[in-house]
Amino acid sequence: MKPKRTSIKNQIRKLIIFTAAMALVFTSLSGIISMFNIRGQSAKSLTDQLEETVDVVVDGKSNLAESRLGLYADYITTLSELITDMYAHPDAYVHNEVLPPDASKENILSMQRYFTSTDVKREDVLEELGLFGSLESLWDSIISEHEAVVTNIYLATDDLMICCDKNANLAVLEPDGESYYDYRDMDWYKSALNGDGRASFLKSYLDSYGRGLMTSCSAPFYKDGKRVGVVSMDILITDLNNSIIDVDFGKGSFAFLVDRDGDIIASPYVYMIGDRFINCSRIVSPEIEADILADKRGVEKSDDGVYYAYAPIRSTGWKLVISIPESLILEPIDQMNSHIRVTIILFIGIFIFVGTVVIILGSRLAKRFTEPIVALEKDVEVISGGNLHHKAMVRANNELGDLAHCVNSMAVSLDNYINDLTRVTAEKERIGAELDVATHIQSSMLPCIFPAFPERKEFDVFASMTPAKEVGGDFYDFFMVDDSHVAFVVADVSGKGVPAALFMVIGKTLIKDHTVPGANLENVFMEVNNILCESNSENMFITAFECVLDLVTGELRFINAGHETPFIYRKGGVFEEYPVKACFVLAGMEDMKYKGGSCMLEPGDKLFQYTDGVTEATDANNELYGMERLTNILRTVGEKQPDEILPAVKADIDAFVKDAPQFDDITMLCLEFKERMVINN
């Protein structure tokens, strides 16, 4: 059953209406879905924004801590270097012995000494007591300048500790008048003595005198290149911590500091219980606490609907945590709901209005567009019926007018083409017949009957030429120069087709005519070259290799005019490239000089020569057959006869090339010297 025919007019109208409707539906749905997606993703967007803001806040707070604490780290580093220099140059400093604690100096800044045990005697460390006494004025100035922050400066070795503060009751005087204090297992001493050598801060702790939250900054000093002690400074950091947690992200949000062990050391709402800090796990879940203590940076939501933004403060190992209720983050989302409802109503109104307009305009546009198409259809029917002189009458100044002009041009072109095709077909048939004759003529000019010299037992020869086109530019030849000398030629004319074939005929004839008994091959190529140059208007040239074998002595004289390197097989061995100097090509330049050479062949030796069509045979991937593959196949067929060697090489080339087209003539020749000629006197 024939399908129902639908006019182009109706198709265009339906297409316009359908396209407009789909565009409206798609736009409306996309807008509505996008708004809902925005609403659904608002929490994530606000969380991401919070995370970016927290990064900025944490960086600022971290820089604040670094700038404040870095000053004291610089003090400790300087003191460490100064004490190290004291050991190295003791005579450069004024000695002033440090005395034991004096209860009368309570609340007076003074320098005091403490031994680690009764085993240490004053006489054992007398030099150090005098040397370190010169530090008192420097330590006094530092503590006085930073009186509200620095509470104590002290140094310690394995034998004694020198401190400078306002407390004289660190240890009680013993009967011998000395005070003892063994600190060698304390963190501030061990961590600095065994650390990386730089000034470092200890975990925060509560001052034993009730002054607030403190930390200690310590660094080692050296004697004779070895660490022998620690210099340290006690620092009040309560004000610094309060400035770090002073953040405000809205009602219900607050910040707190967590130390390395997870204890909250500063918060506006969380306080210590006795002398202990509250653990972070009392506020956050174990999972969030683990991420905070792992030095991560991020934002997480707890099960009770609270977001925790956290980041590490690198200099101290503390963590800044900001707690923000979910209701505070998602507050803007509720304001979006009313906007979404209004937008949906607006989309529906636009859809109805635009749909009505599209239906009306689409019908009118379809009619206007299809009228010239119908007219053009009738004109094409007339032209397709065979009336190529009919003209389409559409005059629209648009693509339809261009199409009508193309139809008229096509009709004229078809008429001309039909007339030309008749002539071209006849001419092509004539040229094809002539090329076929030329192919047979060229084939007949090359020796093609084998064995070529059945009556001669001294040598055997076999050759082949496979042209890339109907006729080729390669050629080979072999002929008897006289009764005891045989000549062999392999050559390649530049280019392909009929011009190369004609130049080949000239070159082959000249080489054979000039190779006469006793002729010097160098002179033969010089004469042939000059003759070819005289009438070489097409600037063609020939690469050629000619050799003459003395059947009596086995001497092989040869000359190479820009041709390929031959292969020689020695009896019992394999084919190897034989280095032959290549002279300039024939027909390239007049009066060229050519230099030949010679070698000896023994019975059983063979010569293989070829044209570049062998090594430049190309497969479908444009990979060349190449010298390596030619050498490999020749080494496997050296012991075979010439009429077996050439087919084996050709078969290997065909297996490599497969179905790829042949771009150059393939010519090969193989000579075998079988036995020396015996001359009868």
Q: Compute the CA torsion angle 523, 569, 449, 477 (nearest 10 deg).
A: -20
How sure is the predictor about 528, in pLDDT bands with cuts at 50, 70 and 90? Answer: very high
Domain residue spans in the chain?
Answer: 1-244+330-374, 245-329, 386-445, 447-673
Q: What is the SS3 assignment for 246-274?
A: CCCCCCCCEEEEECCCCEEEECCCCCCEC
Write out the two tokens for 383: 């032209």
- Rounded Cα gap, residues 28 and 30, in angstroms: 5
Scored b (16 or more CB within 10 A) or e, 114-143 reads bbbeeebeeeebeebbbbbbbbbeebeebb
Write out the two tokens for 364: 């009118």
Whether the Cβ atoms of residue 400 and residue 372 lie closer than 8 Å to each other: yes
Is it the case that residue 284 has pLDDT exceeding 50? yes
- Rounded Cα gap, residues 163 and 114, in angstroms: 8
At the topology level, CATH places domain 245-329 in Beta-Lactamase (3.30.450)
| Least reliable range by pLDDT among 188-197, 217-226, 241-250, 640-649 | 241-250
Pick the CATH number of 447-673 from 3.50.50.60, 2.60.40.1180, 3.40.190.10, 3.60.40.10: 3.60.40.10
For the chain, the helix, strand and coil percentages under 3-state DSSP, each to the nearest 5: 45, 20, 35
Residue appearing with tokens 């030309």: 420
| 433 torsion bin: left (phi>0), alpha (psi -120 to 50), beta (else) | alpha
Q: Give the residue-averaged pLDDT of 14-34.
A: 71
Average pLDDT, the chain: 83
How sure is the predictor about 210, in pLDDT bands with cuts at 50, 70 and 90? Answer: confident
Res 177: pLDDT: 81
Q: What is each CA distance from 431 to 11, 423, 434, 469, 470, in whole angstroms? A: 53, 12, 5, 14, 11
pLDDT in tens, 575-601: 999 999 999 999 999 999 999 999 999
How sure is the predictor about 553, in pLDDT bands with cuts at 50, 70 and 90? Answer: very high
Q: Give the residue-averaged pLDDT of 143-157.
A: 90
Res 381: pLDDT: 75
Q: What is each CA distance from 173 to 112, 116, 398, in whole angstroms? A: 12, 13, 114
Is it the case that residue 543 has pLDDT exceeding 50? yes
In one letter, which amino acid is 675? E
- Rounded Cα gap, residues 624 and 626, in angstroms: 5
pLDDT in tens, 657-679: 999 998 888 999 999 999 999 88
Q: 3-class DSSP state for residue 148?
A: coil
